[in-house]
Chain A
Amino acid sequence: MQDRIKYWKGIEELENAPEFEKHAHNEFPEFLPVSESNAEGTPATGKTHRRDFLKLLGFSMAAVSLASCEAPVRKAIPYLNKPVDVEPGVPNWYASTFFQNGDYNSILVKTQVGRPIKIEPNNLSSLTSYGTSPRAQASLLGLYDNNRLRYPLIKNNEADWTKVDKEIMSRLGKVNGKVAFVSSTIISPSTKQLINEFGSRFANFEHVMYDANSSWGLLSANGGVIPGYDFSKANVIVSIGADFLGSWVAPIPFAKQYIQTRKVSSENPTMSRHYQFETRFSMTGANADVRVPIKPSEEAAVITAIYNAVTGGGSSAASISNAAAVTAAIKELQANRGKALVVAGSNDPGTQAMVTAINRALGAEGTTIDVAAPYYTKQGNDPQMIRLINEMNAGSVGAVLFYNANPVYDHPLSEKVASGIKKVNFTLSFADRVDETAALVEYVLPDNHYLESWNDFEPKKGYLSLSQPAINPIFTTRQMQESLLIWSGSNTDFYEYIRNNWRKVATGDFNEFWEHTVHDGVLENGTSMLLVNTNVAPAAPVIKVIKPTGIEAVLYEKAVGTGDMSNNPWLQEMPDPISKATWGNYVAMPRSMAEEMQVVQGDVLKVTMPNGGVIELPALVQPGQAPGTVAIAVGYGRKLESMPVAIGVGANAYPVATVVDNTVFFTGPVKLEKTDAVIEIAQTQTHHTIMGRLIVQESTLAKYKEEPKSVTEYVRIATHEGPAKPATISLWDDYEYKDHHWGMVVDLNSCIGCNACVISCQAENNIPVVGKAEVLNRREMHWMRIDRYYSSNVDMETKDLGVVERYDKMEDPADNPSVIYQPMFCQHCNHAPCETVCPVAATMHSSEGLNQMAYNRCVGTRYCANNCPYKVRRFNWFAYPNNEKFVNINTTMQTDLGKMVLNPDVVVRARGVMEKCSFCVQRIQLGKLEAKRENRRTKDGEVVTACAQSCPTNALIFGDMLDPESQISKTLAREQGERAFHVLEELNVQPNVTYLTKIRNLA
C-alpha cells in the first residue's frame, strides 16, 4: 500500500493536463520570452520579440540593481547579560607588566568593552612610574597581530590541544638524553620555579637562558647579577659603549634615575656630568655632555686608563686618541668618589670585571650601586647556550623546548642551532608564530600574549610585580606555564600556582593581600622571590683585546629590538632617535669613510660578515660615528610569512657578532664593497642642522649658575618706542579664557629622545602607519615627532665665508656633533595661522585655548598645513583604512583583528582630511565630565595627554594654565624670563606650548 502513495506537485499534475505533460521536464516555463533559436538545430529565426527582450532586460536591470542595494551585514551584537564593570564608553584599567628583552615596565592596561586599547604607566611602581618605553606602548599591537598562530601545530599541521598533550606527555616520558629548556631571560619567580619543577621529572634537565642582546660579560663579572646601578646618585657618569637609556639592561628605570640628575632650576642649578665613549651614535651619547667617538678596540685602553688611575696603578692615557677627554673624565671621577658611576656596554667578562673594580675603587658600591638590589633583567648565559648548541649537534640532547627564544634567527651561531635542532628527537617551540626557530621544530604551541596571561615579575631584587589577563585569549593559544603544569600532571592552573607561590611573601590575610597586590600591580616591600643563579665564577679583570682585522662593525638595537617585535608596524615606523630612519637597517658610517669609499647615502654596500655571509644594505652617513667603524642594527631581514610587516625590510646582521671564548661579542670585522644599486633610506627628517636659527635653545650650566636670566635669548621687535615683546604688538584681539587654558611645557633638559610619546600618541589617537614608500614621500602621519638637530661647525657668526657659502656649510653637521632633541607637535597657538586661512572654518579655537580640528568639516585644501610654521599638520593622502597599498602596513585599520586596538573615543580620519595633535581632547573632555559630575574643577594631573603620560623622564608637563596650583603654572612662573621660551616667538602666533632651554654641563 505504502508504495502507492503518491504526492502531486500540484493540481496540474493530478489532472495530468497535456500542457503540463509537455512542460513537466522543461526547466524554464513557457512564459519566459527568450527562445534559444539554435537549440534544436534550427537556424537563428529570431523568435524573440523585441518587446520581450526589452522586458527581460528591464527586469534583469531592476533585479540586479535591487540586489546591489542590499546593505552589507554588520554584526553588532549587544550583550544579553552585561558583564559587571563593563560599561560601553567607560574604560577599565588593569595593572600589569610588560617585560621583553630587558625592557621592563609596570603598566596599566586600558580596556574598552573588554578590549585592551592602550598601555599606560603604573604610577605605583617605583621603578617605572610615570612613563613607559616605546616598545611597551607598541606591545599592544602584538595582541592583535593577524599573523599570530591561532592553534597549535604538529609538524606544521593544525592540531588540538588534547592531541598535543597526549602526544607530548607520552613522548616526554621516553626522552633519551638531555631535556633542554631554552629561553630568554625569565624574571618571573613562579615561571622559573615551575620550569625547575617540570625539569625535576627528568634525569637530565637544563634550563638555558640566553639573551639575543647578551649581558653575559656584566653578569660574569658581578656574580650572575647586574649591579644595582643608581644613576640618580651619580655626579659623574662615565659610560663606555653602554646605551643605558636606549637598550642596555633596564633602560626605563635607568632613564628615570638618570634624569633626576639632569633636571635643573635656578634654585637648584646642579647637574651630573655625563661622559660617553662609544662607537656608534647612541641615544645615550646624544644626551651626554661629553661624547667621544672611539673604536670598539679602543674601549680597552680607555677602561684600562681609568682603572689604572682610580686604583692608583699609574696612567696609560697617552696611547689613546682622545687622551684629553679620558684624562678629564678620570679627574672628575676621582674628584667625585662615592658619587661616580662607570658603566660599559662590552660583553667581555674581563672588561666588565675591570669596570666593577673601577666602581669599587670609586666607592660606588653602596652609593651609586645598590649592592642589595641588583637587576635581574638580563640573565642570559652565553657559555651555557653555546655548550647546549654543541651538545645538540653532538646528538646528546633528546628534547629541546624554546620559550621566548628564536636562536635560529638571533644567535650568532644560528646555523649550528639549526643543524642541532635536526639532531634532536623532540623539538618544541612556544613561539606565538612560526618564526625561524619554530619553522624547524616539530611542535609549535603558541603561547598567550602577555595581555592574556597571569604572570609575576622581579626585575630587580625586592621589586615584584604581576601581570593579569586584560582579555580572554583571542585564539586557541595556551600559556606556556599551563602546558608545563598539564604535562607535569598538576591539577592547578597557573593562576593558582602563582597564588600559592605568593603565599610565601604575603602578609596578613592572603586574599586581601592578593586583591590588593593584583590591583596595585606591584609589591615593593623588599621581599624577593626570584631564584637566580649566582654561582658564577667572577671573571678576572683582564681585557680581551680583539685585534681588528678590517672595518670594525658594531651591532645595536633599533625600535624593533632584537627582532622580537619585527612584525609591529608602529615600531617599524618609529624614527630612530639618531638617524630618524624608519623601516629597516643600514650601514651607519662616518663621513670620512664615506668620502674615502665615494659613497653617498643610499648607495648599497655589500657587507661581508665574519662568518663569510654577505648582506646588502644601504649606507647612511652618520656624523659622530667613530672613524674606521660602522654600525648596523639587528632585528631586520625577516623572510617568513608569519611576519609580513617585516618582509623585505633590511637585512639580518646577526652574523656580524662573533663568539670569542664562549662569549658573544656584538662587534666584528666586516668588509664593505660598494655596488651600483641604491636603496633609499626612509628618514622622517632629512635636514639635520639648525641653520643658525633661534628655534631650539641651549646654554651651559656655568652660565646658568652665574645668571639664570642669561641662558635664553628672547626676540624683540623694533618699534618706535624701542624693542617690544612680539606678543605686545598685535592686530588681533586676544581670546579670553574663563574656565581652563590648557598648555604644555617641554623641558628640553629632560627629553632623551626615546619616542615613547610618539608611539603613545599613535596608539591613543588612531594614527595610521603609512609604510616605507610613503615615509620616503615625506608623508608619515605622526602627530608628535622629536626633531633632532646636530650641531654644525659653522654658524651665523662664522667669519671668512660668503653668505651663500656659509649657509651651505651650515647644512653639514660637525664630525662629532652635539645633539639636541625638540619634541614638536601642534603648538595650539592663540593666534593660530591655520585658523585664519581655512575657508570652511574646519579648524578653530576653543574657549579653552585648544586649536581644534573638525574632521567632518574639513574639505582638505591643506592651506592650514602650508601656513603652519611648525609643520605639524598631517594630511590623509590616501584612505589608509582601506587602500590596498596599506594592507600589510596599516594593520590596525585594515584587518578586523587589528581594528580592535582602535580607540573608540577618537575617530578614524577619512581620506582627504587634515589632522593633527588635539592635546588629547578626548581625555580633556572625560576629565571635565568627571569633575562636573562631582561639581568641582578638574584637579591638576587628572587630565593628562598620552604623550605626557608616557614620557619616562617627565619632559612633558601638561595642565591648566589658569589653575595657579598646577604644575604647569608653577613651572611657567618659575621659568619665566629664565628658561621658558616659545618657538618662533617673533611670529606672534602665541603658542600654548612653552619650551625650557636645554642646559649642558660642559666641562
Chain B
Amino acid sequence: MQHTSPIREPLVTGGKTYHDITEDVCRQVEAAPNPRWAAAFGVALIGLAIFFYSVYRTLWFGIGEWGLNKTVGWAWDITNFVWWVGIGHAGTLISAVLLLFRQKWRSSINRAAEAMTIFAVICAAMFPVLHMGRPWLAYWVLPLPNTFGSLWVNFNSPLLWDVFAISTYFSVSLVFWYIGLVPDFATIRDRATGPIARRAYSFLSLGWTGSAKSWSRYETVSLILAGVATPLVLSVHTIVSMDFATSVIPGWHTTIFPPYFVAGAIFSGFAMVLTLMLITRVVFKLEDYITVGHVESMNKIIMTTGSIVGIAYTTEFFIAWYSGVTYEQYEFINRATGPYWWAYWTMMTCNVVTPQLFWIRKIRRSLVLTFIISIFVNIGMWFERFVIIVISLHRDYLPSSWAMFYPTWIDVGVYVGTFGLFFTLFFLFVKFFPVINMAEVKAILKSSSGVTHHGHHPQANVIHGAATDSNTNTTHSNE
C-alpha cells in the first residue's frame, strides 16, 4: 500500500514470516513461565508488599507518616504522581500520534508502550487518592448528585480538572489498548489448547471473527480513538501543569508550564518505554521486532524533547530575572544554590546534559548506552518534579515559614511500592497478553521486513501457512 524506501532500515529483521511472528509472540503466552520471568515477578511482588505496608501505615495513622509539614504540603506524593503521569504519556503518543502520522516503526512497540501507559496511570492515580487526608471521601471530588444539599465540586480548582483529565486519559487509553488487543486475543484463542485459556481469550476477544467488516471497523475505531487520544497527549500534562501554574507560589506561577510539562512528559515517557523495551526484548528474545532502528528513532525524540525541556529551564531563569519579581528571582537562585542545590543539579545533568549525547550516532544506536541514559532521564525527570514542587514550596513568601522537607521511610516505601505495583501488572501483562501487536506487525511485514517478497516462493508459502495457521487473519494477511 505504502511505498517504503529501499534505503530505509527494516523494521522487522531476521527474515520473519507471518507465522514466525505468531509463533514468536504467542510463545510467551502459551509456554510455561520462563524462570527469569518468575524471578522478576517475585521481585515485583515484594515491591507490591512494600506498597501495601506503606499504604496501610498511611491510611491507618494518617499523612503524618510522611515527611510533609506546614510549609511543604506536597512532596514525594505529587512528585511521584506527576512522574508516573508523565511516564504514561509515551503510550498514547506512540499509539495515537504516530498512528496518525503513519509512523510504521511504532507497531512493534505500541502494545507494550500502551500497557505501560495504563499501568503508569494506575500508579499515578494512587497518589492523588493516597495524599488526601481523608481518602475514604475521595469520591467527593466527583461531581456526583448527592444528599448533602446543593453541594457541588469547585470547578475553579485545577485539582478537579486533574480528576477529569486523568480519568479521561485513563479510559481512552484503556479502550484504545484493549481494542488493539482484540485481534491478537483472537489469534491466541484460536491456538489455545486448554479449556480455561480458550474460554478466557474467547471472552477477551469479544467474538472476533476476522471478517473484512470486522477489520474495517477495527481500523476505523483505531483511527477515531487515535484522533480522540491525540489531544489528550497535550491536555493531560497541560492540566497537570496547571496545578502549579495557576497557583501563586513563586516557581509554580509560570505560563511556560503547559508546553514544558508536555515535552517533559514525552521525554520521560519515551525514556521509560526504552528502559522497559530494552529489557523485554532481551528477556523474550524479541530482538527482531524491536530493532536498533526503533531504539534510534526513540532516542531522537528523547534528544528533541530533552532539548525543549532544557530551553524551558533556561527560560524560567530568564523570566525570573526579566520580571523583576524578587520572590521569583530568589526562588530560582535558591533552586540552583539553596539547600536543595543537589536536586537541581541532578535534574540539570540528567535531563539536559545526558540526552545531548544522542547527537552522536554511535551512542544513539548503542543499546547499553541507551539503557543507561534512559535511566538517567527517568531519574532526572523525577527530580524535575521534586525541584518544582519541594524547592518552590520550602521557601516561598514569608521567611518565617521556610522549612526543609525530609522524607520518611513510608514516603520511600510508597514510591518504591508503586514500582512493585507497576511491575506486577507489567509482568502479568507480558505473560498473559501478546506483548507485540501481531496484527500490525504483520501489516508492515511486507513493506518493512527488509525481505524482497516478489518471486520468493518459499516465503510466499510460509505466508500462506501463516494465514491458515491463524485463519482469522486471512483477510489481514492479504491486505
Contacts and interface: CB of A to CB of B under 8 A. Distances in A.
Nearest to A841: B154
A989 B69 CA distance: 24
Interface residues of B, number: 53
A688 B397 CA distance: 13
B339 to A, nearest CB: 10
Contact of B326 (A692, A779, A863): A692
Contacts of B133: 858-862, 875-876, 911-914
A478 to B, nearest CB: 43
Contacts of B63: 860, 862, 875, 877, 912
Contact of B67 (A777, A838, A840): A777
Nearest to B159: A839
A780 B247 contact: no
A615 interface: no
B40 interface: no
A838 B246 CA distance: 12
Given A867-B249, A871-B71, A910-B134, A789 B399 contact: yes
Contacts of B153: 839-841
Interface in B317-357: 326-327, 330, 333-334, 337
Contacts of A789: 399-400
A837 B402 contact: no
A778 B152 contact: no
29 contacts: A685-B400, A692-B326, A693-B327, A693-B397, A777-B67, A780-B70, A787-B400, A803-B333, A807-B333, A807-B337, A837-B247, A839-B154, A839-B160, A841-B151, A841-B152, A859-B140, A861-B132, A862-B74, A863-B73, A865-B70, A866-B73, A866-B74, A869-B398, A870-B398, A879-B61, A883-B62, A910-B134, A983-B398, A984-B397
A987 interface: yes
Contacts of A788: 400
Given A787-B398, A865-B73, A875-B133, A778 B62 contact: no
A133 B463 CA distance: 93
A822 B74 CA distance: 26
B193 interface: no
A912 B326 contact: no
Interface string A945-987: 0000000000000000000000000000000000000011001
Interface in A852-898: 857-863, 865-867, 869-871, 873-879, 883
Contacts of B137: 859
Tell which of B156, B243, B398 has the most Cβ of chain A within 10 Å: B398
A833 B399 CA distance: 19
A691 B404 CA distance: 17
B70 A874 contact: yes
A172 interface: no
The 6 closest A-B pairs by CB, nearest first: A860-B133, A912-B133, A877-B64, A778-B69, A862-B73, A787-B400
Interface of B: 61-64, 67-71, 73-74, 128, 131-135, 137-138, 140-141, 151-154, 156-160, 163, 243, 246-249, 326-327, 330, 333-334, 337, 393, 395-404
A686 interface: yes
A879 B398 contact: no
A548 to B, nearest CB: 36
Contacts of B70: 778-780, 865, 871, 873-875
Contacts of A925: none
Given A839-B141, A875-B133, A876-B133, A687 B62 contact: no
Given A695-B398, A866-B74, A878 B64 contact: yes
Nearest to B403: A778
Nearest to B329: A803
B397 to A, nearest CB: 4
Contacts of A804: 333, 337
A397 to B, nearest CB: 53
Contact of B71 (A778, A824, A867): A778
What secondary structure prevails in chain B residues at the interface with A? loop
Given A857-B151, A859-B134, A912-B134, 11 more contacts: A838-B157, A859-B132, A859-B138, A860-B132, A860-B133, A862-B63, A863-B73, A863-B157, A866-B247, A878-B61, A912-B133
| Of A692, A778, A779, A863, most B-chain CB atoms within 10 Å | A778
Interface in A217-263: none
A690 interface: yes
A368 interface: no
Given A859-B134, A866-B249, A691 B163 contact: no
A833 B248 contact: yes
A752 to B, nearest CB: 17
A796 interface: yes
Contacts of A778: 69-71, 403
B337 to A, nearest CB: 5
B404 to A, nearest CB: 8
Interface in A811-863: 822, 824, 833, 836-841, 857-863
A689 interface: yes
Nearest to B392: A866
Given A836-B157, A862-B73, A883 B61 contact: yes
Contact of B400 (A687, A807, A984): A687
Given A796-B326, A863-B159, A869-B248, A857 B140 contact: yes
Contacts of B128: 861
Interface in A339-385: none
B62 A912 contact: yes
Contacts of A863: 73-74, 157, 159, 243
Contact of A861 (B159, B247, B333): B159
Contacts of B398: 695, 787, 824, 869-871, 983
Given A859-B137, A876-B133, A912-B132, A839 B157 contact: yes
A675 B419 CA distance: 43
A836 B156 contact: yes
Contacts of B327: 693
Contacts of A867: 247-249
B396 A869 contact: yes
A983 B73 CA distance: 22
B402 A686 contact: yes
A983 B398 CA distance: 10
Interface in A685-706: 685-693, 695
A861 B131 contact: yes
Contacts of B61: 878-879, 883
Max chain A C-beta neighbours (<10 A), residue from B73, B151, B158, B403? B73
A146 to B, nearest CB: 24
A856 to B, nearest CB: 9
A989 B62 contact: no
B397 A839 contact: no
Contacts of B326: 692-693, 796
A17 B73 CA distance: 78
B411 to A, nearest CB: 13
Contacts of A693: 326-327, 397, 399
Given A875-B133, A878-B61, A862 B68 contact: yes
A876 to B, nearest CB: 7
B400 A824 contact: yes
Contacts of A685: 400-401
Contacts of B243: 863
A582 to B, nearest CB: 14
A87 B64 CA distance: 39
A695 B397 contact: yes
Nearest to B64: A877
A910 B154 CA distance: 22
Interface string A779-796: 110000101110000001
B63, B128, B152, B401 — which one has the most chain A CB atoms within 10 A of its CB? B401
A426 B251 CA distance: 71
Most buried by B among A691, A692, A840: A840
Contacts of B403: 686, 778
A840 B73 contact: no
Nearest to B156: A836
